[in-house]
Amino acid sequence: MKFIFSHNNFNVLDLEKSLAFYKEALSLVEMRRYEPPDKSFIIVYLGDGVTPHYLELTWLRDRREPYNLGDNEFHLALKVEDFAAAHTLHEKMGCICFENPKMGIYFINDPDDYWIEIVPARR
């Protein structure tokens, strides 16, 4: 029996704001969407166009309060070829929330304060 990664889920308060953030910050694009007839929620799957792994964003119509992310010790990680250009973009966006120069990585946070690790692509 073999298991293969499919997706990770983040619940978001403002779907359009989150979609814009992920497109600008990480070049993730909408791959598919599901919305039930009663419109009580929307699920959008974002992809990088290279890997089969998706980030699932879930918006719940009746949710108003921010999600409790605990100590925010979990995160996604994405590799990038041009680490310096990515850092410049994220610095300009004001979304860098933590840097670890010794490890050569940094983290950005999305509109709902989920953390995303940015890692240089190593050859």
pLDDT score of 3: 87
pLDDT at 82: 96
- Measure the CA–CA gap between 10 and 109, rounded to whole angstroms: 12
Residues 97, 113: Cα–Cα separation, whole Å: 9
Task: Tell me the Cα Rg of the chain.
Answer: 15
Give me the pLDDT at residue 50, please: 95
Q: What is the pLDDT of residue 71?
A: 83
Averaged pLDDT, groups of 10, the chain, 123 residues long: 93 98 98 98 97 97 93 90 97 97 96 96 75
CATH of span 7-62+72-120: 3.10.180.10
Strand, helix or coil for residue 88: helix
Q: Which amino acid is at 48?
A: D
Q: Is the pTM of this model over 0.85?
A: yes
How many CB atoms neighbour CB 75 within 10 A?
Answer: 14
pLDDT at 74: 85
